[in-house]
Amino acid sequence: MNKIKSIYLLLIAILAVSCISLEGKFTKTQSANMGAFADQTIAMLAESNVTKANDKSIYTRKYIDFTDKDVQAYEKLLEDSEAFFDKIIEYSIALATIVETNKSVPEQIEAYSKYLEKLQESAEGKTDMTPELFDQIISDVRSQDDFLDALQVAQPIMNAAGRYGMLLMNKIDKSAKLLMRDLDRKIDEDYAEVIAFQEALETEKYVVLNAIAMLYSTYKGDMNEFERFRQSDAVLDKTLIPQGEPSVEELTILSDHLEDRLKTIHTIWSEVEPDWVVYRATHEELDEQYNALLGETRRARMFLLIWFRAHQKMSAGISNPAEWFAIEDAPALLYKTLL
Express each pLDDT in 33-88 by its tens digit: 777 788 788 877 776 655 554 557 889 999 999 999 999 999 999 999 999 999 99
Torsion of CA 309, 312, 318, 321, to 10 degrees: 50
pLDDT value, residue 208:
92
Would the CA dihedral through 324, 327, 332, 333 be positive or negative?
A: positive
Residue type, 193: E
pLDDT value, residue 203:
92
Q: What is the 3-state secondary structure (H, E, C) of 277-295?
A: HHHHHHHHHHHHHHHHHHH
Query: Is the pLDDT at 11 greater than 70, yes or no?
Result: no
Least confident stretch, 230-234, 270-274, 286-290, 333-337? 333-337
pLDDT value, residue 17:
35
pLDDT value, residue 181:
96
What's the predicted TM-score (pTM) here? Answer: 0.76
Mean per-residue pLDDT, 23-27: 37
- Please give the residue that has the higher pLDDT: either 1 or 145: 145
Mean per-residue pLDDT, 314-326: 75
Per cent of the chain over pLDDT 90 is: 50
- Please give the residue that has the higher pLDDT: either 240 or 29: 240
Of the pLDDT bands very low, low, confident and very high (cuts 50, 70, 90), residue 324 is confident
Q: How high does pLDDT run on average in the chain?
A: 83
Query: Is the pLDDT at 6 greater than 60, yes or no?
Result: no
Of the pLDDT bands very low, low, confident and very high (cuts 50, 70, 90), residue 335 is very low
pLDDT value, residue 311:
87
Distance, CA of 207 to CA of 228 (rounded, Å): 12
- Please give the residue that has the higher pLDDT: either 329 or 161: 161
192-219 and 248-315 helices, crossing angle to 10°? 130
pLDDT value, residue 327:
59
Express each pLDDT in 244-295 by its tens digit: 888 999 889 999 999 999 999 999 999 999 999 999 999 999 999 999 899 8
Express each pLDDT in 31-44 by its tens digit: 347 777 887 888 77
- Establish how many alpha carbons lie within 13 A of residue 263's alpha carbon, considering only the half-sphere containing its beta carbon: 6
Distance, CA of 255 to CA of 239 (rounded, Å): 14
Query: Is the pLDDT at 30 greater than 50, yes or no?
Result: no
Q: How is the chain split into domains, by residue range?
A: 1-27
Express each pLDDT in 116-157 by its tens digit: 999 998 888 888 889 999 999 999 999 999 998 999 999 999
Of the pLDDT bands very low, low, confident and very high (cuts 50, 70, 90), residue 326 is low
> Quick check: 153 and 141 in contact, CB under 8 A?
yes
Which residues lie below 8 Å from residue 308, measured CB to CB, with a gap of 6+? 158, 159, 161, 162, 337, 338
- Please give the residue that has the higher pLDDT: either 14 or 223: 223
Phi then psi for 255, rounded to 5 degrees? -65, -45
**Ramachandran bin of 8, using left for φ above 0, alpha for ψ from -120 to 50, beta for the remaining angles:** alpha
